Amino acid sequence: MSITNYDFTVAGLDIEVVRKDIKNMHISVYPPQGRIRVAAPHRTTEDAIRIAIVQRLSWIKNQRKHLREAERQSERRMLSGESHYVWGQRYILDVSKQSGAYAVEPKGNTLWVITPKGTDAAGRFGALDRWYRRELKAALPALLEKWQPILGVNAEKYVVRRMKTKWGTCVTGSRTIWFNPELAKKDPRCLEYIVVHELVHLIEKGHGKKFVALMDQYLPDWRARRQELNDAPLGHEEWD
């Protein structure tokens, strides 16, 4: 697919334009700060893109306002007493236990992060991050086994990889799906939505009418799940 990128400004907003071999224009606003991206066919003029932005200016500003006002977890220092989330549930961190090996154990309302003596905050974060990745990798096979036959598609590979602006992405050429480890902090319903969303991209690459129709057909409440995911607390990027 031929792709070109450039930026310009409309009504004081910085717009990232990505020109692709697609049929329709798509306007997206990405977390956490409301980055605006337009995917447009090569034939679309800049004036047409500017007009589309102006026409959707109210929606864009509302999306940016929503993202910036979304509950954001306070800066993580990996100290006892902090709040952390596992599969949508809030836990209180306790790092008081020490051992010769690293371990993470959610029990009751407590998330125990157990590390060797002398481990600093970065080391504790690393232990927790690896655990989140294992949690996500353990949850994905059952969802893929459920949805691939329903949709009639198969992903050749899936990867858990941290991404700045996406919960998941589908590389259609290699039929590979990437999942953000932050999903292990969200409600399992949100993970299922991302799994279905990315698998549907193996049928339809874009987010046009056909994509929406497929999502409506197979996961009718996908909009509610998407909203639930976007409303969830955003993790701090201190350690990225």
Q: Would you say the pTM of this structure is higher than 0.85?
A: no
pLDDT given at position 54:
94
Identify whether the C-beta of residue 136 lies closer than 8 Å to the C-beta of residue 177.
no
pLDDT given at position 11:
85
What b-and-e string marks burial along 5-16, b requiring 16 or more CB atoms within 10 Å of the CB? eeeeebeeeebe
Q: What angle do CA 52, 210, 32 make, to 5 degrees?
A: 55
pLDDT given at position 70:
60
Please give the structure tokens belonging to residue 217: 């057909």
Identify residue 219 by its one-letter amino acid code. L
Domains of the chain plus CATH, in order, are 4-69 (no CATH), 83-231 (3.30.2010.10)
**Cα 159 from chain centre:** 13
pLDDT given at position 6:
63
- Other beta carbons within 10 angstroms of residue 35's beta carbon come to 16
pLDDT given at position 239:
34
What lies within 8 Å, CB to CB, of 136 at 6+ separation is 160, 179, 181, 183, 184, 191
Query: What parts of the chain have a pLDDT lower than 70?
Result: 1-6, 32-33, 69-76, 231-240
pLDDT given at position 12:
85
pLDDT given at position 63:
87
